[in-house]
Structures are given as C-alpha cells and as structure tokens.
Amino acid sequence: MDRKGRAPMFGGDCSDDYVGNYLRSHEDTISQAYRFDYAENLLVDALFEEYTLLYVGCGTGGFLRLHPRARLVHGIDYSPKMIEACHALIERFAMRNVEATVADFASFRPDRLYDIVQTAGVHGSYLPHTEEALRKVHSLLHPDGYGLFSLTAPPRTLGHYWKRCKSWLRRKPLIEIHPDRFRRMLARTGFAVRLELRKGERLDRYFLLCRKE
Ligand SMILES: C[S@@+](CC[C@H](N)C(=O)[O-])C[C@H]1O[C@@H](n2cnc3c(N)ncnc32)[C@H](O)[C@@H]1O
C-alpha cells in the first residue's frame, strides 16, 4: 500500500480491462432474505465435487445454479407451476447439470441413488420433521451419502408454550423442533451430524450436514 492506502499497480492500470467482467458478475440481484440459504448451498458446492444432489422442494430452482461442481442436480417439487418456473430459470442460466420434475417427496421412487439429498426447504420449514421422512432420505442415498437438513428452534417465549399446548390438543405437530430432539431423531434413523451452521437472529435456524452411517 502507498501512503494513501492504495494498492500498488503492476503492469499498468489493468483494472480498466476487466471492469466489464465484474459488472456482468453483479448483474443478477441476490435476495437478502435468503442469504442463509445461499450460504448453505455454496458451502455444499465448496465441500463436494462431481456429486449428485436431490433437491426436495426445489421451487423455482433459484438455488440450483449454486451447484456448478455437481454432476447432476435433480430438483423435485409437487407444484407443476413451480417446476414450470424452474424450467424457465434452467434455460435462462443455462444450467446444464440440472433437471427438474414434478414429484411429491412421499411417493417419489427414483431409479437412482444420490450422493446428497437436501430437504431443507420442505421439512423443518413447510412440514414437521418426521422419522419416516428421515428414513426415506436415508433410503435414497448412496452408502456414504449425506443428508442436508434445516430446522427452526422454538423460541422460549410464553406465547410459544401456549402455541405448543394448542398444537398438542389439536394433534397438529409444530414445524419448529428443538435441535437436541432432532439430533436424537437423526441418530435413530442412521445419520451422524458432520457439520452444523446456526443463524441466530430473529429466527433461530440451523442447517445440518449429516452422513449416512
Ligand atoms: C420454501 S419453498 C422453496 C422455494 C425455492 N427455494 C425457490 O427459490 O423458489 C418449498 C417448496 O417445497 C415444495 N414442497 C413442499 N412439500 C413438498 C413435498 N412433500 N414434495 C415436493 N415438494 C414439496 C413447495 O411446493 C415449495 O415450492
């Protein structure tokens, strides 16, 4: 650095040559609301290569392009409209390693196994975690595969205890789950937690990368 804090320039002012590259790379806006989800997906792609990924509840497929190192990303969603929008994004971003099909996770019977199965957008955010769903993920994985799960921990507020009582009386399970309870469910269904991310702002949200045992 010189005295004014500027980085030294080597070989002349080459920044002028690549300003356009930077500009193009920033053209597509990144949703701030989903930055934790972006981090999850980018982390997976940094940790693995040449992997096959089943993305359950892929929706419009906005996160599927964050897996350029994957051999195959297979997104499924039970909403035909979501899959239609997903196909449009696949085209727009020329995602050559991505396929997307309409399918409900519960009845989905693929003719292949995957290296990674990601259910983070469905179980723990749309639907409660169940051991049945975890066993299904387990059955869809190669022997050394990984499950990717997310959960929201219940807040410790009086209002939430009341909500829990009502859900118990109505026999409607809550989506939030205590991380310790979820870890016990994982152990019972044959998963070992290998990595855990926690985003503890307004929502106490966890992301767990678990190896099939
Ligand atoms: C949180 S949204 C995902 C949004 C997506 N990340 C995006 O960027 O568009 C969850 C998605 O899961 C789908 N879904 C929920 N339950 C499902 C199930 N049992 N099987 C397949 N898809 C499911 C919903 O249709 C919805 O599109």
Ligand 1 pocket: which of 76, 126, 130, 140 to mutate (most atoms <8 Å of CB)? 126
pTM score: 0.86
The pLDDT score that the predictor gives to residue 12 is: 55
CATH topology of domain 30-212: Rossmann fold (3.40.50)
Banded pLDDT at 89 (limits 50, 70, 90): very high
> What's the rounded mean pLDDT across residues 145-157?
90
Q: Over the chain, what is the mean pLDDT? A: 88
Least confident of 14-18, 19-23, 152-156: 14-18
Residues 116-133, mean pLDDT to the nearest whole number? 94
- Give 150 Cα–ligand 1 centroid separation in angstroms: 14
Q: Is the pLDDT reported for residue 7 higher than 70? A: no
The pLDDT-based confidence of 125 (bands split at 50, 70, 90) is confident
Ligand 1 atom nearest to 82, measured from its CA? 27
Q: Which of 35, 60, 79 to mutate to test the pocket of ligand 1 (most atoms within 8 A of CB)?
A: 79
Give the E-state strand segments of the chain in sequence order: 52-56, 72-77, 98-102, 114-118, 141-152, 191-200, 204-212
pLDDT at 83: 96
H/E stretch holding 133 reads helix 131-139
Between the CA of 55 and the centroid of ligand 1 the distance, in Å, is 9
Instruction: Give the pLDDT mean for 145-168.
Output: 84
- Going by pLDDT thresholds of 50, 70 and 90, the confidence category of residue 1 is very low
pLDDT of amino acid 13: 64
Residue located nearest, by CA, to atom 25 of ligand 1:
79
| CA of residue 4 to ligand 1 center, whole Å | 51
Closest CA to 120 of 108, 98, 105: 105
Reading across the β-sheet that carries 141-152, which strands appear in turn?
98-102, 72-77, 52-56, 114-118, 141-152, 204-212, 191-200
Residue list, ligand 1 pocket, CB within 6 Å: 56-57, 59-60, 62-63, 76-79, 82, 104-106, 121-122, 125-127
CA of 122 to the centre of ligand 1 (A): 6
- What are the sequence ranges of the domains in the chain? 30-212
pLDDT the model gives residue 2 = 47
Q: Is pLDDT at 126 greater than 70 in this prediction?
A: yes
